[in-house]
Amino acid sequence: MTSPWTAGQVASVAPDVTSLAAARKLAGSWTLTGHHENSLWGLCQGSGSKPYQAIVDLSGPAYKCSCPSRKFPCKHTLGLLVEWSEGRVPTASEPADFAAEWLDRREEKAVTTRPAATKIVDPSTAQKRAERVAGGLVELDLWITDQIRGGLAAMDKSWEALDAVAARMVDAQAPGVAGTLRTLAGIVASNENWPEKVLDELARLHLLVAAHQKIAELPESLQDSVRAQVGYPVGTDSVMERPPVRDHWMVMGTRVTEEKRLFTRTVWLLGRVTGQWAVLLDFSHGSPNFSGVVPPVVGYQIDADLHFYPGAAALRARLGNLHSEAEPFTTVPRGSIDGTLQSYADAVSADPWLRSWPMMISAVTPSYVDGSWFLVDETGAALPAEGDSLWTLLGISGGYPVTVCGTWNACAVSPISVFASGQVIAL
């Protein structure tokens, strides 16, 4: 049976501070609450005649509520988690009928959507794809050359050219390249110094074209990185057949993002023994109800096997065998600014297409100076910081040193979570 979450873990799944505050005000509004194995449920009386039915599948976690809120999770499912974390939800022998119906449907969906065994690819089919990709990349390189020769000034006046070349990369079965090209429009629209950033991206693409042309001459791990950037698929079965890395994996952060109804869950893990970082990625169309094996929530660690995707700088992984129940952790390894910069340099030297790398820095103080954010360590060394959660980070720190987990992209730290007072708090 799953142990009750801490207040920090409940806060980590809240969509915003307002929703969490509203959830805490619902104490006293609950009836027929219950907890059975990995499920929670309860009725929350609102302003209407019928109470809202709130359900949580803790194995996801996944949430269901009969309210019309567009936030996910809503204040009612958050409120149910608050009730549980504070010991006000009794254990039951089985879920309530309204909860069991939804939980059963989730289980049926999980069974029907489990990935099938990886198909054996016909060598001739693989060769045809490689030739199609190669042809598309040649066209891409010519387009890049034209952009550099003619200058980038016109790129902010029309997106048609970007859309056209991205569509051509889709036709050439290079979806990874197409995705990179589509991000250029966002860079141009949202950055004053967009020419510099666009030039960086075009240089990365040019390097990718050159690497793909000589892919047979590259080390095997770098070949894998090139294929990943182009968008060659990697079968789940082939990943799970790779040697596992066993460790006590600490969940340092979780985020769910959505773009055009495609929900992506990102989980950052840090191995307590190996010091190795890992990222778990899961996708769900239409709703953020993810199926499959799910890691613990933020602030918990688990003795488990991870199987890493092939690549020169292994980071993305899949969760394999679990060797223990999840348990909370109250300490984390120390990290430094110098260590962060060195880890990033090592990763980029192995895989030059990496854009960011996870990091943890101990004893840094958030500082806001002349409109810019920095994380300053005990020696006075500092790294620039960016993101929407920096004021929250400053509030949690109280102006004192804390341990910050985030990602570094060679320009700034994007905080993911903060470790303070013996617990991880998601940002």
3 state SS for 9-72: HHHHHCCCHHHHHHHHCCCCCEEEEEEECCEEEEEECCCCCCCEEEEEECCCCEEEECCCCCCC
Structure tokens at 394: 């400053």
Q: Residue 117: what pLDDT?
A: 47
Q: How far apart are CA 20 and CA 347, in angstroms?
A: 37
Q: Residue 419: what pLDDT?
A: 92
DSSP character string of 91-129: B-SS--HHHHHHHHHHHHHHHHTSPPPPPPPPHHHHHHH
Q: Residue 154: what pLDDT?
A: 72
Q: Residue 311: what pLDDT?
A: 93
Name every residue whose Cβ is closer than 8 Å to that of residue 210 and which is 6 or more positions away in sequence: none
Helix, strand, coil fractions of the chain, as percent rounded to 5: 40, 25, 35
Q: How far apart are CA 266 and CA 257, in angstroms?
A: 8
Could you give phi then psi for residue 404, rounded to 5 degrees?
A: -115, 130
140: phi > 0 → left, psi -120 to 50 → alpha, else beta; which?
alpha
Neighbours of 228 (CB within 10 A): 19
- Our CA angle for 380, 383, 381, nearest 5°, is 15
Strand partners, 36: 39
Could you give phi then psi for residue 222, rounded to 5 degrees?
A: -75, -30
Q: How far apart are CA 105 and CA 347, in angstroms?
A: 42
Residue 92 in contact with residue 24, Cβ under 8 Å? no
* DSSP, res 216: G
Q: How far apart are CA 296 and CA 12, in angstroms?
A: 12
261: phi > 0 → left, psi -120 to 50 → alpha, else beta; which?
left
Q: Residue 110: what pLDDT?
A: 63
Q: Residue 92: what pLDDT?
A: 92
Which amino acid does the sequence have at 112? T
Q: Residue 287: what pLDDT?
A: 73
Closest CA to 271 of 237, 241, 244: 244
Could you give phi then psi for residue 406, rounded to 5 degrees?
A: -170, -160
- pLDDT by residue for the chain (427 residues), tens only, comes to 567 888 877 877 787 777 888 999 998 899 999 999 889 999 999 888 899 999 999 877 888 999 988 788 899 999 999 999 999 999 999 999 999 999 888 877 765 544 444 455 566 777 888 889 999 999 999 999 988 888 887 777 666 778 888 899 999 999 999 989 888 877 887 777 888 888 999 999 999 999 999 999 999 999 999 999 999 988 888 999 999 999 999 999 988 888 777 888 899 999 999 999 999 998 887 777 776 666 778 888 999 999 999 999 999 999 999 888 888 899 999 999 999 999 999 999 999 999 999 999 999 999 999 999 999 999 999 999 999 999 999 999 999 999 999 999 999 999 999 998 888 888 8
Which amino acid does the sequence have at 358? P
Q: Residue 121: what pLDDT?
A: 55
Structure tokens at 357: 């790398």
Q: Residue 258: what pLDDT?
A: 80
Helix (H, G, I), strand (E, B) or coil at 135: helix
* DSSP, res 264: E
Q: How far apart are CA 416 and CA 414, in angstroms?
A: 7
